[in-house]
Amino acid sequence: MTIAEKNPQNCLSDWNGIMERDIQQEGEAQKVNVCDPPSESNPPAETLVTTFCLLGNHMFADTVEQKEARGTAVKKGGEENVDQSHCAANEQILDVEPHCNQAKKLETENSEDQNNASTNPADSECEDAAMDNDQSDSGEFVVTMLAKAKLEEQGIGLKGRSSPLLEAGTQESHGFMSHRDEDVMADSWRQHRKHVFVLSEAGKPIYSRYGSEEALSSTMGVMMALVSFVQSGDNIIRSVYSEEHIVVFLQKGPLVLVCVSSSRQSEEQLRAELLYVYYQIISMLTQASISRIFEHKKNYDLRRLLAGSEKILDGLLNLVDSDPSFLLAAVHCLPLASSLRESLSQTLQKAITPNLVFSILIAKNQLLTIVQEKTVIEDTRLEPADVHLLLNLIGASSAFQAGEIWTPICLPLFNPDCYFYAYISYLDPPECTVCLLLLSTDKEAFYAVADCKRKIEEAMVAQNSLSLIAKAQSYSVSQVGVSDLRHFMYKPFDVPDNYRQLTQFTSPEMEAPYSSEDEKMRLLDLYRFMHSRIHSTSRPLKLIYHVAERETLLAWVTSKFELYTCFSPLVTKACAITAITKLLRWIKKEEDRLFIRYPPKYSTTPNPSKSSRGSKSDQQDTTDNGFLSLL
């Protein structure tokens, strides 16, 4: 924040430098993707192409007829890459080019030595040896793969028809199908911007964002075939690039998550989104349970357990697309006079019961305040992702409006293996905008926790808090008083260490010209682009000045904050810098209102050793949760 205030001129020259470097690196980066010409042609390569084309059946409309394609070359690069400095030794680029224009690139990364192979000569030797091995055995390797893939397909075909478990799962979930009835062969289905699939290691469909999982079982089978094909070479498949789409894979325990996107987001961003999907599943079932289930029965149909939760996953994916909180991995709180926020926190602080660990107040789907148990706050802090999952859960389920809810829920980043018990209730029926969320580690505590809610309710009535909260709203960018500034997102890092505060960000309402859904999405896409440049793994940038078609954007990351700004297209670089200086001053002045500054704590746990994280007692909870079937 201070850098800009002191010396905007320096910043400008920095920019030029960075931008130049940027351009240079762009050139280099393109080299990275250049592969060796095909050094040998592998006859069994058709198999691989066929595999791709099977996927293409659903994903890439044009490739269907490529099934018959012969004489296609499979290129394996990697060992003699031109630009070794950028391409780590452990990265192979496997290029598959069918006859059509859609070049697909399969990037794989060695599973054993993911990051530091290049620094360890012994490792890279091993790597080379392994790769040679791969090459000489490639015929055999691909044949094995073919057999595997076939097996997989047959397996799926059979299971799809005969498994009683699968049928049970289907019946369970019937009532809640929305766009699950979509025809997966239709063009409209293919044209969705972002598909997300979740499958088990046995290739069983678990979730699809669009279309029914059964109809997609063969597509998912092919995805799994791709995953296991690469796995059999001791590698992990990470992504497949085509002209229009990028396919990103994420393997987490027994689950495989796949994203097929035409959104032009970076691979890293898409993978982060898949991770949110995984965490949302964990929040409902816990990691320990999922592992145990699949250890016990490899081809278990997890949809049985997720039945009724599709809406929560759908809601999450919609939020991920429309809410920058997920991109920034930070929480957006509702701007509120600090005195009011403090009095609300005090109210929460007073209404406590043993084993209560978090008290969270939410209004209009944004955080008002959060109070934590003392021992918990010393131990750790609540991660933004966990808060996002909680907010999504509340947003996606209208059931909460009917009464008080008591439900087991896991906060995957806090502890992926144990459950909290969440008490959720709205404080302002029938409007239902102010929501109280109390998390306890004791599943028996419902009445005690519900009693806390009544205390909080009484206190809030006494202080007339609800009507004050109702008046609170997000702010307009015009309040900053900078004429060319249209929108911004500011995420500070400068939180005092001792508070271990929740990562937050602030952002004004999206106003004209970003009032329509399409325009909002376009701005978010621009931010996503800037974000991907700032956080690029190969060459991260600190500062980007980007002149887009209809606006000018500036992104800047320092050790103290991360800032994304959007200006009118006519702004000059000098104006933008002045504007940012002003903006940073304004934020500094308003920060007590914009952020939760000093998260209060309370002490409820009589015995500190019983705090939730990692305690034996809570591990017990998951063993309790045997998911015994009543079928």
Binding pattern for the stretch 256-285 against other proteins, x by CB under 8 A and - elsewhere: ----------------------------xx
Binding pattern for the stretch 296-335 against other proteins, x by CB under 8 A and - elsewhere: --------xxxxxx-x------------------------
Report yes or no: 323 and 229 within 8 Å, Cβ to Cβ: no
Measured between alpha carbons, how far is residue 117 from residues 31, 80, 92, 614, 622 in Å? 21, 16, 13, 33, 37
Among 131, 258, 270, 393, binds other proteins (CB under 8 A): 393
φ, ψ of residue 384 in degrees (nearest 5): -55, -40
* Chain centroid offset of residue 109 CA: 21
DSSP one-letter code for 299? T
Please name every residue paired with 91 in a beta bridge, in sequence order, or none if there are none. 109
Least distance in angstroms from the C-beta of 621 to other proteins: 7
Residue corresponding to tokens 């950028």: 86
Least distance in angstroms from the C-beta of 622 to other proteins: 10
451 binds other proteins (CB under 8 A): yes
452 binds other proteins (CB under 8 A): no
214 binds other proteins (CB under 8 A): no
Is 548 exposed, middle or buried, given 0-12, 13-18 or 19+ CB atoms closer than 10 A? middle
Rg (alpha carbons) of the chain, rounded to whole number:
26
178 binds other proteins (CB under 8 A): no
Least distance in angstroms from the C-beta of 431 to other proteins: 13
Least distance in angstroms from the C-beta of 311 to other proteins: 6
Nearer to other proteins, 374 or 522 (CB): 374
617 binds other proteins (CB under 8 A): yes
Least distance in angstroms from the C-beta of 524 to other proteins: 26
Among 64, 158, 402, 547, binds other proteins (CB under 8 A): 402
Q: Which stretch binds other proteins (CB under 8 A): 122-130, 227-235, 407-415, 465-473?
A: 407-415
Contacts (Cβ under 8 Å, ≥6 apart) of 377: 500, 599, 601
431 binds other proteins (CB under 8 A): no
Nearer to other proteins, 295 or 509 (CB): 295
227 binds other proteins (CB under 8 A): no
Nearer to other proteins, 493 or 627 (CB): 627
Q: Residue type for 414, please?
A: F
175 binds other proteins (CB under 8 A): yes
Structure tokens that stand for 119 in this block? 């620094």
Nearer to other proteins, 479 or 617 (CB): 617
Half-sphere exposure of 527 toward its Cβ, with a 13 Å CA cutoff?
27
* Chain centroid offset of residue 417 CA: 19
Strands, E assignment, 427-574: 434-440, 485-492, 504-505, 543-547, 552-557, 561-567
Among 23, 85, 181, 447, binds other proteins (CB under 8 A): 447
385 binds other proteins (CB under 8 A): no
- The span from the CA of 619 to the CA of 287, in Å, is 12
φ, ψ of residue 457 in degrees (nearest 5): -60, -45
Report yes or no: 224 and 55 within 8 Å, Cβ to Cβ: no
Structure tokens that stand for 517 in this block? 């859904």
Residues near other proteins (CB under 8 A): 171-176, 284-285, 304-309, 311, 354-355, 393, 396-400, 402-409, 422, 429, 441-448, 450-451, 454, 457, 605-607, 610, 615, 617-618, 620-621, 624-631
